[in-house]
Amino acid sequence: MLALVSPALLVILALIVLPVGWLAWQSIYHDGFTLENYRRVFTEDVYWRSFALTFEISLAVTVIALLLGYPVAYLANSVPKGWSILILSLVVLPFWTSVLVRAYAWLALLQRTGVINQFLRYLDVISEPLALVHNTFGTVVATVHILLPFMVLPLYATMQKIPNDLMQAGASLGASPSLTFMRVFLPLSLPGVLAGCTMVFVLCLGFYITPELLGGGRTVMVSMLVSRNVELYNQFGAASAVAVVLLLSVLAIFFVVSRFISLDRVLGQK
Amino acid sequence: MMRTSPARMALYVIGALVLVYLILPVLIIAPISFSSARFLTFPPPSFSLRWYEQYFSNPAWMQATRVTLTVALLTVLIATPFGVAAAYAISQSKLRIMRLIHMALLLPLVVPIIITAVGIFFVYAKVGLVATMPGLVLANVMLGLPYVVISVLAGLQSFDPAQEMVARSLGMNRLRSFFAVTLPQIKSSVVAGGIFAFISAMDETIVALFISGGQYQPLTKRMFTALRDEIDPTIAAISTLMTAASFMLVLLASTRQTKGG
């Protein structure tokens, strides 16, 4: 049996465990043991601001995705089967479109001469094009778009398991629909909320293509810090330290969440 | 007829708006790709195939397309048997360490891709695999493995291993009984896993940005570089073709999966 897993395991060891280990080593060793890279990451302004911005954006994206995703999951759960299949298909459809293709689409929609600005001017709503992209706004809009399915799917899976009887029991005891929702449905859907929020937040922390293409160079997320240190400045130690801090943040989040819900629930979606 | 409550109406409206937000960007690319305008103009002035011509007549785009398709195909051919073997072992073995191995095989989904990409770049730089075809394929095999493992494990869950025992008690060896009894029953999830690995290799961008170069640059890397500079409608044409290809493959994978197994 071990012989059967070994080819796959070897690939994983050689191409993810070894490289990540290499990064960790490189972050503390350069002609001798050093913590200089970490000191820089934690004290230099550029790094701090980038980490702070990344966490802010990830938090904003998670909250927006929850606010948009919850009603959609609820709707898919409360309509007849045919409709719910249609809704879920529409949710996963963009999921299977390349992230790059979607970045292009958002550029085409949001840029100064883009579809939305052209349309608004065509309708005479605005006289000057709005700055919708090459800023944090554009990054957030496109990132939420990419991560929304990761929110909707675990929410829907959790909501489906909530027995309808409970809602009827609430109603028969005289509670209004909104009270039954607040006291019965919402609490029972919280594991799905936690699973969805974790996935969206963690994936957002490591986002690269979307902020790089839609952020216009001003929205420097942590991943861009890593790539710039490698590609532009040849600062491999600094890049490695940033990568290690990012990875540890992700693992810490997974660890904390695993205390509340099973990780299978979080990772099961994709 | 029951009247729809205001809360319910609001739910329908919000749901519809969110779905439009999800779908609109996917739908907007096709009309742009068929527009004759050099720059994005709304409404599009007229219909044209010039961006498709530009794509198909450009040797650099064509070379990148060949690289992408070759990498994706080789990835499937390697990741699928590796993944199937691993999933089979994980589902059959009672060894404690299998749980750990199972988790290790899902690591590519957990580690942020930018970290994986930079890490692989450093390792490849040491062993001379940067800007080579084998390096590109190997990285994509690693990234595609979790999809095969997840899909095949799901398929094996509904398979009764007693059937294979029967075949073996009738004198087949383990390998033959697997190919004769087990594989035909989990074929759909194997194919689905392979298709997901193919799509993942076709779409992969970030690792390619770091480790590919020279003549072995996949489509996504060239698209990324092009997108950084300007919004060339040729990319709309390529995007439309890529999206159509992904959807056809997903459709194929999901009809396979619903057939059971």
SS3 sequence of chain B: CCCCCHHHHHHHHHHHHHHHHHHHHHHHHHHHHCECCCCCCCCCCCECCHHHHHHHHCHHHHHHHHHHHHHHHHHHHHHHHHHHHHHHHHHHCCCCHHHHHHHHHCHHHHCCHHHHHHHHHHHHHHHCCCCCHHHHHHHHHHHHHHHHHHHHHHHHHCCCCHHHHHHHHCCCCHHHHHHHHHHHHHHHHHHHHHHHHHHHHHHCCHHHHHHCCCCCCCHHHHHHHHHHHCCCHHHHHHHHHHHHHHHHHHHHHHHHHHCCC
pLDDT in the model for residue A270: 41
Contact A52, A59 (CB under 8 A): no
For residue range B34-87, list pLDDT tens digits in order.
888 776 666 667 888 999 999 999 999 999 999 999 999 999 999 999 999 999
Question: Smallest CA–CA separation between B47 and chain A, in Å?
Answer: 16
| The pLDDT of residue B261 | 39
Instruction: Write down the pLDDT at residue B260.
Output: 44
**Ramachandran assignment for B56, one of left (phi > 0), alpha (psi -120 to 50 degrees), beta (any other):** alpha
CB spacing of A15 vs B142 below 8 angstroms: yes
Do A229 and A236 contact (CB within 8 A), yes or no? Answer: yes
Contact A12 B19 (CB under 8 A): no
pLDDT, residue A95, reads 83
Buried-state track A68-91, b at ≥16 Cβ within 10 A, e below 16: bbbbbbbbbbbbeeeebeebbebb
> pLDDT of A183-218, one tens digit each?
889 999 999 999 999 999 999 999 999 999 998 887
d(CA B235, CA B118): 26
* B122, A21 Cβ separation under 8 angstroms: no
| Partner residue facing A114 (CB), from B40, B104, B145 | B40
Q: Is the peptide bond before B81 cis (omega within 30 degrees of 0)?
A: no
Tell if the CB–CB gap between B115 and A72 is shorter than 8 Å: no
C-alpha closest to that of B213 among B126, B124, B108: B124
- What are the chain A neighbours of B25 within 8 Å (beta carbons)? 94, 102, 105-106, 109, 145
Instruction: Spell out, as residue ranges, where chain A has pLDDT lower than 50.
Output: 269-270
Chain B residues whose beta carbon lies within 8 Å of the beta carbon of residue A7: 81-82, 85-86
| C-alpha of B211 from chain center | 19
What pLDDT was estimated at residue A268?
A: 60
Please name the member of B43, B227, B250 whose beta carbon is closest to the beta carbon of A96: B250
pLDDT score recorded for residue B160: 84
Cβ distance A19 to B119 less than 8 Å, yes or no, reads yes
Given this model, what pLDDT does residue A190 score?
Answer: 94
Tell me A123's DSSP state: T
CB pair distance less than 8 Å for A213 and B227: yes
Per-residue pLDDT, B3: 61
Cβ pair B206:A208 closer than 8 A? yes
Q: What's residue B256's pLDDT?
A: 67
**pTM for the whole structure:** 0.90
| A154-174 CB burial, b ≥16 within 10 A, e <16 | bbbbbbeebeeeebeebeeee
Q: Which residues of A touch B107 (CB under 8 A)?
A: 12, 16-17
Residues in chain A: 270
Identify whether the C-beta of residue A27 lies closer than 8 Å to the C-beta of residue A244. yes
pLDDT of residue A53: 94
B48-62: pLDDT as tens digits? 899 999 999 999 999
Structure confidence at residue B192 (pLDDT): 93
Q: Which residues pair with A29 in a beta bridge?
A: A33
Chain B segment 167-206 residues within 8 A of A by beta carbon are: 199, 202-203, 205-206
Tens-place pLDDT, residues B133-166: 999 999 999 999 999 999 999 999 888 888 888 8
CB A173 within 8 A of CB A165: no
Residue B197 corresponds to which tokens in the numbers above?
């690995």
Q: Is the pLDDT of residue B242 over 50?
A: yes
What's the average model confidence in pLDDT over B208-227? 92
Q: Token digits for B45?
A: 């002035």
Residues from chain B contacting residue A23 (CB–CB below 8 Å) = 115, 118-119, 122
Cα(A127)–Cα(A120) distance, integer angstroms: 9
> With an 8 Å Cβ cutoff, are A178 and B7 in contact?
yes
In A, which residues are within 8 Å of B24 by CB distance?
A: 109
CA angle B73, B192, B164 (to 5 degrees): 110
Taking residue A252's Cβ as centre, other Cβ atoms within 10 Å add up to 10
Q: What confidence tier does B258 reach under pLDDT thresholds 50, 70, 90?
A: low
Question: Nearest 5°: CA angle at B227, between B221 and B232?
Answer: 120
- Option in A107, A177, A243 nearest B231 (CB): A107
How far is Cα A29 from Cα A59, in angstroms, rounded to an integer?
A: 33
Q: Rounded to whole angstroms, how far apart are CA atoms B25 and A99? A: 11
